[in-house]
Amino acid sequence: MSLPVTLPYTIGSLSGLVPASDLDANYNALTEAINGINNGTNPLTGVSVTGGTWAGSPIGVSYGGTGRTSAPTNGQLLIGNGTGYTLSTISAGSGITVTNTSGGISIAVSGGSTGTVTSVAVSGGTTGLTTSGGPITTTGTITLAGTLAVANGGTGVTTSTGSGNNVLSTSPTLVTPILGTPASVTLTNATGLPLTTGVTGTLAATNGGTGLNTYATGDIIYASATNTLSKLVAGTNGFVLKLAGGVPTWQSASAALVVGTSTVTGGASGQILYDNSGVIGEKATTGSGNVVLATSPTLVTPVLGTPTSVTLTNATGLPVGGISATGTPSVTTFLRGDGSWSSPATASGLTVGTTTITGGTAGRILYDNSGVVGELTSVPVANGGTGATTESGARTNLSAAASGANTDITSVTLTTGTISTNPTAITNIANKLYVDNLVAGVTSQISCDYGSTADLGVVTYNNGTSGVGATITKGSPFATFSIDGASPTVGKRILVKNQTAQLQNGVYSVTSVGSGSAGWVLTRVSDYDASSEITAGDAFYVELGTTNSNTQWVQQTQGTITVGTTAISFIQFGGSGGTTGIKQPYAANGAVYASSATALTTGTLPVTGGGTGAATLTANSVLIGNGTSAVTAVAPGTTGNLLTSNGTAWVSTANTGVSTGKAIAMAIVFGG
């Protein structure tokens, strides 16, 4: 049964929307209406549902519902089945993965599936191009042919005329010129135009032409009038070009030559024209050289012939025959001041000034002997000569020795001087250091400027090539090189003798003084860097330094030394530095003894060295031991005193009644 129901309210919620007073009166009608809505026999129209909870059966498909009673899970979709909807998920096919999430589905390709292209073909389409060679099933080439249409970016043509860039759709509009012979046209800066195109007649001079259209070989073009060119045909061979009435013409060379208003006739070939007081004259040329022009310096023609008087300064190349003199010139004659050739004076005498020397001896020296020319057999020493005529006499007069032979000098007295080199021959002079070293049994070497006093600290040793070029380089912390109270400069020789690694010891030269940011560098000297140069007994003298000045050191390592491997040891054998110790000259009566394992000193020999430690002793005193200190002495005291012990020391005491015999016996006992 269908009951139309009109509700007095707009249902905003299907529960709790109708007041209780009205619900009782309309309960039956409302119930029937709702049942009709549920089973579809009484459709509800004109109802707007804006909220609330649906408490009835699921809404069917025919009423816009789904007919489903359960919510879909992740990824489920409503799939129509003809009468309603079915909830279903997407099934993944081969190479596809489906991932269902809340409110989303992800579909992706998986498995890296590949395929095979079995055929490739190309079509020209509407481009106007054709293809050949396709389809390709294995390998091959597809070739394009034809003309690309304008609509596809081509030109639509297969030929072109002229040159230049292509005209595209965005290019400016081009105007095609009218070809043929123009009635009138003006060209500005036009180049490369063929005169046979669009031009008729002969190009006039006013238009940049000549007005001429034919020429013969040798023709000359000239301006015959304003803006008018004419041609002068070639003249006869030998003709010359002249100007007549402002117009060039050809004229025979033998004809008269007009210069200005003067006509030169009968001229001789090759002569020079000149202004002869307003009349053109001719002069023949003589000699050779450049032509003298108006701006040339004034030339004075010398008077040729025999000069009456002339002064020549540094003149060379003059023919002797051109000089007027009496006599005959030859290699054995000379020209005298009086203009005559003469042979050198021999027995006839040599005139000097107003003095004539006769009977002179060849080879002697002339000198002014109080206004008279005299002869000397030798120049005195006082006048800068030797005063002798022989070498031995000259050496004797000059107290000199002959080179390489000192036989004429029997004794030499030298009050001072320095000999820095060692003697090599039996007749050489030897310096004292060489003699001292020889006496000491050592081999003197080149002295050093400074010597080390302790290990050089953090360094790097590089042995070079078997010692040649070996270096010691300072490591961090860096500093400028200093040693024994000094800062040696580059090139100074350093005796390095205190290295803990004794293989580094030797003689070095300062090659870099270093700085606060770079280490100093010492390099083994070339005269002491090979095994053959380093032997036991090599002695070095150290010249400078607070501690090592004036000291001598000897290398004591025996046997073959391999530089960079063998320990090299130095000990002192002379001098101790500073102001005391072994220095030259030596202290009189001083003992020389080892003050340490590497140093010698001089002075009083201590008890530890087998001495007494005492520099002086009182006569007849008795020496008393004092441990390692210097011995003490007990004076004999008064006659008859006895040497007795007080428990700590020996003393001389007076005899208080002991007989002489007993005293002797006590002395024997005490000494026993």
Q: What is the mean pLDDT of each run of 10 residues along the chain (672 residues)?
A: 42 46 56 62 59 65 75 80 80 81 80 68 80 82 82 74 59 60 62 57 78 84 85 82 81 64 63 68 64 60 61 62 67 72 61 62 69 73 82 79 54 69 74 69 87 95 95 94 96 96 96 94 95 92 93 91 94 60 51 65 78 79 81 76 76 67 45 34
Distance CA 393, CA 386 (A): 8
Distance CA 251, CA 379 (A): 88
Tell me, yes or no, whether 456 and 577 share the same domain. Answer: yes
Q: Is residue 145 part of a domain?
A: no
Q: Is residue 98 part of a domain?
A: no
Tell me, yes or no, whether 627 and 495 share the same domain. Answer: no
Tokens of 75: 């990824």
Tokens of 462: 């590089």
pLDDT, residue 140, reads 83
pLDDT, residue 555, reads 92
Distance CA 399, CA 22 (A): 168
Q: Is residue 521 part of a domain?
A: yes
Last residue of one domain, picked from the residues 381, 416, 451:
416
Tell me, yes or no, whether 505 and 585 share the same domain. Answer: yes
Distance CA 451, CA 30 (A): 129
pLDDT, residue 15, reads 43
pLDDT, residue 582, reads 44
Tell me, yes or no, whether 376 and 438 share the same domain. Answer: no
Tell me, yes or no, whether 436 and 549 share the same domain. Answer: yes
Which helix H or strand E contains 27, and what residues bound it?
Answer: helix 20-39
Helix, strand or coil, per DSSP, at residue 554: strand
Last residue of one domain, picked from the residues 50, 68, 86:
68
Q: Is residue 541 part of a domain?
A: yes
pLDDT, residue 77, reads 80
Distance CA 330, CA 326 (A): 12
Tell me, yes or no, whether 549 and 598 share the same domain. Answer: yes
Angstrom distances, CA of residue 490 to CA of 87, 373, 523, 530? 100, 65, 11, 22
pLDDT, residue 304, reads 59
Give the residue among 666, 671, 661 at the shortest CA–CA distance from 622.
671
Helix, strand or coil, per DSSP, at residue 663: helix
Q: Is residue 153 part of a domain?
A: no
Q: Is residue 228 part of a domain?
A: no
Tell me, yes or no, whether 447 and 500 share the same domain. Answer: yes
Distance CA 631, CA 637 (A): 18
Tell me, yes or no, whether 404 and 491 share the same domain. Answer: no
Tokens of 358: 């006769």
Tell me, yes or no, whether 579 and 640 share the same domain. Answer: no
Tell me, yes or no, whether 583 and 648 share the same domain. Answer: no
CA torsion angle for 245, 248, 254, 256 (degrees, to 10)? Answer: 20
Q: Is residue 257 part of a domain?
A: no
Split into its structural domains, the chain has a count of 4
User: Domain span at residue 61?
Assistant: 1-68
Which helix H or strand E contains 248, and what residues bound it?
Answer: strand 247-251
| Owner of token pair 């040729």 | 304
Tell me, yes or no, whether 460 and 582 share the same domain. Answer: yes
Tell me, yes or no, whether 537 and 641 share the same domain. Answer: no
Give the residue among 246, 253, 221, 243 at the shortest CA–CA distance from 234.
221
CA 592 remoteness from chain centre: 58
Distance CA 577, CA 281 (A): 108
Question: What sign results for the dihedral spanned by CA atoms 245, 249, 252, 254?
Answer: positive
pLDDT, residue 177, reads 58
Q: Is residue 553 part of a domain?
A: yes
* Single-letter residue type at 311: T
Which helix H or strand E contains 665, and what residues bound it?
Answer: helix 660-671
pTM > 0.95? no
Tokens of 394: 């000259």
Angstrom distances, CA of residue 439 to CA of 31, 338, 428? 150, 81, 18
Last residue of one domain, picked from the residues 603, 630, 661:
603
